[in-house]
Amino acid sequence: MPRHIKSAPGLPPDAQTGIRDSVEIMLARIRLGGAATVLDYAARLDGWSGPVIVTPEDIAAAAAQIPPPLKDALHYAHDNIRAFALAQRASLTEFETELRPGLVAGQKVIPVASAGCYVPGGRYAHIASALMTIATAKAAGVTHITACAPPRTGAIDPATLYAMHLAGADTILTLGGVQAIAAMAFGLFGTPEADILCGPGNAYVAEAKRQLYGPTGIDMVAGPTDIAILADATANPQRLALDLIGQAEHGPTSPCWLITDDARTAEATLHAIPRTLALLPEPNRAAACAAWEAMGEILLCETREEMAQTADRYAPEHLHVQAQDLPWWQDRLQNYGSLFLGAESTVAFGDKASGPNHVLPTSRAARHTSGLSVHKFLKTVTYQRVTQAALPDLAKATATISRAEGMTGHALTAEARLPQAPVPKVVNG
């Protein structure tokens, strides 16, 4: 087992039960009261009493405030995200195959009709999140995309609004929190009911998505963002410290782990952390410091195989390899949301502009699921077609299995398709 150079004491127990109850009450009230209740919550929780539906004039006014370098950066990121999503879409194909003479089966790929994309706006303006969710839904072929973002300084952050429009949102609502999720799910303010809800958010947003899941699809129930770095003796400790603290900047609940087989790298990185924290302005520094103190770990392993096993057990959202023999790591590692290979890569690239989606599984969910992609907005449905040539064997097999299960009705429906179908006997009693 790896040895801890620094352990994570963790955070005190949260108020998840209280969050669950509060969200349940809010959703029930909105379900009954509709848009009026949403507006009440918007006024009380976000201090927003202006128009909810963003107009073309609002978008134009926001665009006029964006400096050209930021516009260029957003277009660069959007082009990458869209291109990667379109390549993902092309990888999923439709087909039809004849399994046996007269028995044809196939697969169709159908985009959902409507999506609700949430763009958070708490401690930071999450501009890139607008591109990640909306552009991906657009590339999948979703017919109508409703996007919500909370007001930050009297309105949606201008750059965020510009990104939402650039990515292709059909309707943009100035709403945050549970009320935004509910408005998209229930189809309020003239929007269609969302077939799927996606996008990161705080604990209340995540809980609202969890409670609405079933009739409405969701991308995932996301927790705090995390990072794990796998490093050997060739890694630069100052860069490792910067990469860890860069993700810790998200806030005090964000785990950040360094896994290494080199004691000097472990100690040097630990010593570099205070200097790295000092590079951040407040309140970023306080958020990152709290995360490192409560959730940061440095683990020393004996071998690279033990490092890989540890990473697979942690199943991080972001997994960054800064070690030799990158092909070995790429082939060996299994549990992660997104993999960053080499010292020249960094999680920040993936968070903002490189192309693959940054909405990723957290809290060890990478053991069983993947991040947001066009596939989340697509239904892979099947169909079948049967001719007389397939009927004798197909009906016989179906009827035999059905009777073994005790499902006589199923057997009869199969046998009724035979050319010389037996006359069903009436069962008394």
Could you say which of 317, 320, 358, 415 is catalytic? 317
- What pLDDT shows up at residue 131? 98
To the query of whether residue 317 is one of the catalytic residues in this protein, the response is yes
Residue 384 lies in a domain: no
> CA–CA separation, 107 vs 93, rounded Å?
8
Task: Tell me: do 64 and 169 sit in the same domain.
Answer: yes
The tokens for 12 are: 């005190």
Residue 330 lies in a domain: yes
Task: Tell me: do 307 and 413 sit in the same domain.
Answer: no
CB 240 within 8 A of CB 267: no
Task: Tell me: do 67 and 121 sit in the same domain.
Answer: yes
DSSP letter for 155, please: S
**Per residue in 197-235, is it b (16+ CB within 10 Å) or e — as a string?**
bbbbbbbbbbbbbebbeeebbbbbebbbbbbbbbbbeeb
Distances (CA, A) of 207 to 42, 240, 297: 18, 33, 28
Task: Tell me: do 102 and 138 sit in the same domain.
Answer: yes
- What pLDDT shows up at residue 11? 73
| Total-model pTM | 0.93
Task: Tell me: do 131 and 276 sit in the same domain.
Answer: no
Residue 158 lies in a domain: yes
- What pLDDT shows up at residue 121? 87
Residue 348 lies in a domain: yes
> CA–CA separation, 316 vs 255, rounded Å?
9
Task: Tell me: do 143 and 163 sit in the same domain.
Answer: yes
- What pLDDT shows up at residue 154? 82
The tokens for 210 are: 């969890």
Expressed as residue numbers, the domain containing 315 is 3-12+224-359
- What pLDDT shows up at residue 249? 95
Task: Tell me: do 280 and 402 sit in the same domain.
Answer: no
Could you say which of 126, 250, 318, 320 is catalytic? 318
Task: Tell me: do 215 and 126 sit in the same domain.
Answer: yes
Distances (CA, A) of 20 to 84, 117, 177, 202: 36, 21, 14, 13
Task: Tell me: do 201 and 232 sit in the same domain.
Answer: no
Task: Tell me: do 230 and 213 sit in the same domain.
Answer: no
Residue 317 lies in a domain: yes
To the query of whether residue 344 is one of the catalytic residues in this protein, the response is no
> CA–CA separation, 41 vs 31, rounded Å?
13
- The secondary structure of 299-367 as a DSSP string is EE-SSHHHHHHHHHHH--SEEEEESS-HHHHHHH----SEEEESTT--HHHHHHTSSS------TTGGG
Task: Tell me: do 8 and 49 sit in the same domain.
Answer: no
Residue 407 lies in a domain: yes
Of 231, 226, 227, nearest to 307 by C-alpha is: 231
- What pLDDT shows up at residue 81? 98
**Under 8 Å CB-to-CB from 130, ≥6 apart: which residues?**
117, 119, 147, 149, 160, 163, 164, 167, 169
429 residues of the chain, pLDDT tens digit each: 899 999 998 877 665 668 999 999 999 999 999 999 999 999 999 999 999 999 999 999 999 999 999 999 999 999 999 999 999 999 999 999 999 999 999 999 999 999 999 999 878 889 999 999 999 999 999 999 999 999 988 899 999 999 999 999 999 999 999 999 999 999 999 999 999 999 999 999 999 999 999 999 999 998 899 999 999 999 999 999 999 999 999 999 999 999 999 999 999 999 999 999 999 999 999 999 999 999 999 999 999 999 999 999 999 999 999 999 999 999 999 999 999 999 999 999 999 999 999 999 999 999 999 999 999 999 999 999 999 999 999 999 999 999 999 999 999 999 999 987 666 677 665
Residue 23 lies in a domain: no
Task: Tell me: do 292 and 405 sit in the same domain.
Answer: no
Cis ω for the linkage preceding 283 (within 30 of 0): yes
CATH number at residue 325: 3.40.50.1980
- The secondary structure of 199-246 as a DSSP string is ----HHHHHHHHHHBTTBEES----S--EEEEE-TTS-HHHHHHHHHH
The tokens for 175 are: 């709403």
Between strands 378-386 and 318-322, the pairing is unpaired
Residue 93 lies in a domain: yes
**Computed from CA positions of residues 399, 404, 409, 410, in that sequence, does the dihedral angle turn out positive or negative?**
negative
- What pLDDT shows up at residue 428? 67
Per the structure, how many domains does the chain have? 3
- What pLDDT shows up at residue 425? 72
